[in-house]
């Protein structure tokens, strides 16, 4: 089948649902008008449709591999990556002074989500570089910025992030990698890192690794961690790749999916690195990269879900089985239900992504602390719900195919295998949920209640044209308000954590109803109003069961002993 980037969907969301017009109204992004953004999305869509989508199966069937220590990427990936670079897409939101486009994150997230739908394995390479660019912009010395940023932004060099070690996964503070001062302003970095996406390529002149390690005087835990830039090749006096650094790819992981993206075990043996940010300030610097990376991973989930939906829909519109109005299985009630749920959840999760990205842009443009708080609150929801949606939609896509979905040649299973990791990396979805109910509620729920108030205000406005849908959203919002009041009153964090996942999902469900209602108001009598009615009538009610679970506390969760769990 042929992938079609959802350009028109993004244009509708930006112009009618999430309030994009506030972004070009600022001085910072005055040139990023709706017309300009539409032109950019159209060009990005062509790249996705014509260049990246044809590589989707190549990455799965012909995985990246190591040959005598040299990494070989999937057929066509080098040309695809070069096309991304030629379009300037690596530096879409990077600073113009170093060669970037300087566009809003809202636009960058939209473009990269479309890329993920076309070919997730390849999209991951420039996404990682984009994250490193942002970390260096905020924390690196001027000398590092001047040398590395232009090459990363052009795509000539690529970037990675090296956090995880065999004994230090989500518990980053348990890492043992060390960095010793060399006496000349550089450091000797030693240690092994695992799960390093795109730890090497055969189409970039240099690979720039951001590595977390501990200095000799670093205290145990996360407060003693520093961040280092460790390139594969040491730049020479002219800034070109010179002598090979003391690092290597030990092996590639054999994975469930994302076969076109090499996931490396990296070994650093006294490799030369440069400090990024202050000593022992590595986690703060890395989280600059990770926070927006989490939003980007949410986009990966939505993008993979979009690809799976289009793949399943195409099959449902050509497969004939039993009698239906059209003759195709798309007109069987249960198949139609699956397709509607897929489409409705993709809209909801995409709208949450855009709302979060808009908050980031408004904070960048205005410096307003309220925008920063909104972005921080929405980030774990966007990441977790976006990737949950990607998994759910991709799994449903296999079901639409029926028996053929279980056959690899159909390509349906690849979407599920590829997207599954997005709920794990950049902070598992469970950790996102715990972050939401703990750190993001340290304000006593102020931001949560502000969002709830906004949802109810829109529902009140919608009563004039959509009374039934408005009432459903308003009532769901009141239930969410009561659950949030209960949540912030809990002093034992285990009571919050035990219900954090259903609470996040319920919040996302209500946000989805909010954005679907906005779409219905903007498209009265049109297909988006019909989709909104389906979501609000059939999917929004899930919030009730989720909130009951969220408020059940921890006691029942720990009712069985460890021995009883095993019995």
Active site residues: 426
SS3 annotation, 476-500:
HHHHHHHHHHHHHCCCCHHHHHHCH
Report the b/e string of 344-365 with b at 16+ CB within 10 A: bbbbbbbbbbbbbbbbbbbbbb
Cα(108)–Cα(298) distance, integer angstroms = 13
Q: Distance between terminal CA atoms of the chain? A: 48
Measured CA to CA, the distance from residue 94 to residue 102 in angstroms comes to 5
Q: Is 33 helix (H, G, I), strand (E, B) or coil?
A: coil
Choose among 76, 80, 90, 11: nearest CA to 49: 80
Give alpha helix (H) positions in 4-99.
7-16, 34-47, 56-61, 77-86
**DSSP code, position 252:** E
Asked if residues 294 and 427 have their Cβ atoms less than 8 Å apart, the reply is: yes
Q: Which class for 553: exposed (0-12), middle (13-18), buried (19 or more C-beta within 10 A)? A: middle
For 12-49, give one letter per residue: b (16+ CB within 10 A) or e: bbbeebbebeebbeeebbeebeeeebbebbeebbebbb
Contacts (Cβ under 8 Å, ≥6 apart) of 116: 123, 299, 300, 302, 303, 304, 307
CB atoms within 10 A of CB 220: 10
Question: Residues 243-254, buried b or exposed e (16+ Cβ, 10 A)?
Answer: eebbbbbeebee
Question: Backbone phi, then psi, for 116, in 5-degree steps?
Answer: -65, -35
What contacts 266, CB < 8 A, 6 or more positions away? 162, 192, 193, 194, 196, 199, 209, 247, 248, 249, 250
Beta-strand runs (E) in 206-291: 206-214, 225-231, 233-235, 241-244, 247-252, 263-276
């Amino acid at each position: 089948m042929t992938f079609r980037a959802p350009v028109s969907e993004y244009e509708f969301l930006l112009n009618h649902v999430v309030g994009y017009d506030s972004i070009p109204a600022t001085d910072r992004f005055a040139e990023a008008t709706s017309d300009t953004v539409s032109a950019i999305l159209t060009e990005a869509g062509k790249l996705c449709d014509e260049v990246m989508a044809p590589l989707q199966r190549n990455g799965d069937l012909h995985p990246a591999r190591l040959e005598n220590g040299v990494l070989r990427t999937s057929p066509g990936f080098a040309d695809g990556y070069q096309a991304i670079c030629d379009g300037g897409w690596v530096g879409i939101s990077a600073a113009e002074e170093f060669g970037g486009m300087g566009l809003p994150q809202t636009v960058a997230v939209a473009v990269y989500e479309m890329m993920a739908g076309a070919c997730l394995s390849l999209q991951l390479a420039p996404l990682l570089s984009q994250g490193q660019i942002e970390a260096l912009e905020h924390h690196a010395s001027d000398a590092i910025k001047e040398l590395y940023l232009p090459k990363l932004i052009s795509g000539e060099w690529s970037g990675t992030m090296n956090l995880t070690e065999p004994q230090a996964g989500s518990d980053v503070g348990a890492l043992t990698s060390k960095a010793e001062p060399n006496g000349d302003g550089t450091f000797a970095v030693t240690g092994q890192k695992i799960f390093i996406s795109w730890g090497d390529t055969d189409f970039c002149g240099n690979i720039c690794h951001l590595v977390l390690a501990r200095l000799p005087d670093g205290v145990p835990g996360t407060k003693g961690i520093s961040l280092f830039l460790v390139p594969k090749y040491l730049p020479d006096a002219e800034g070109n790749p010179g002598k090979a650094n003391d690092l290597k790819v030990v092996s590639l992981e054999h994975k469930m999916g994302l076969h076109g993206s090499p996931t490396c075990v990296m070994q650093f043996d006294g490799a030369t690195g440069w400090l990024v940010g202050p000593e022992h300030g590595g986690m703060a610097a890395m989280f600059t990269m990770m926070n927006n990376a989490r939003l980007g991973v949410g986009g990966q989930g939505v993008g993979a879900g979009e690809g799976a939906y289009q793949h399943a829909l195409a099959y449902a519109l050509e497969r004939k089985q039993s009698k239906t109005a059209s003759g195709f299985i798309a007109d069987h009630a249960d198949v139609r239900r699956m397709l509607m749920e897929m489409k409705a959840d993709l809209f909801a999760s995409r709208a949450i992504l855009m709302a979060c990205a808009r908050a980031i842009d408004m904070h960048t443009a205005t410096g307003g602390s309220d925008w920063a708080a909104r972005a921080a609150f929405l980030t774990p929801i966007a990441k977790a719900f976006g990737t949950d949606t990607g998994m759910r939609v991709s799994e449903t896509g296999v079901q639409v195919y029926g028996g053929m979905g279980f056959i690899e040649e159909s390509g349906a299973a690849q979407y599920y295998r590829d997207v599954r990791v997005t709920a794990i990396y950049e902070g598992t979805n469970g950790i996102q949920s715990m972050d939401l109910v703990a750190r993001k509620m340290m304000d006593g729920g102020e931001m949560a209640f502000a969002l709830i108030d906004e949802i109810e205000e829109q529902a009140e406005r919608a009563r004039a044209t959509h009374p039934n849908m408005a009432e459903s959203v308003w009532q769901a919002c009141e239930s969410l308000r009561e659950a949030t009041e209960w949540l912030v009153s809990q002093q034992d964090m285990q009571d919050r954590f035990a219900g954090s996942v259903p609470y996040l999902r319920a919040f996302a469900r209500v946000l989805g109803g909010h954005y679907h209602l906005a779409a219905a108001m903007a498209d009265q009598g049109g297909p988006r109003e019909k989709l909104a009615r389906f979501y609000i009538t059939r999917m929004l009610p899930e919030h009730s069961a989720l909130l009951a679970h969220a408020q059940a506390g921890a006691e029942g969760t720990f009712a069985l002993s460890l021995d009883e769990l095993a019995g």
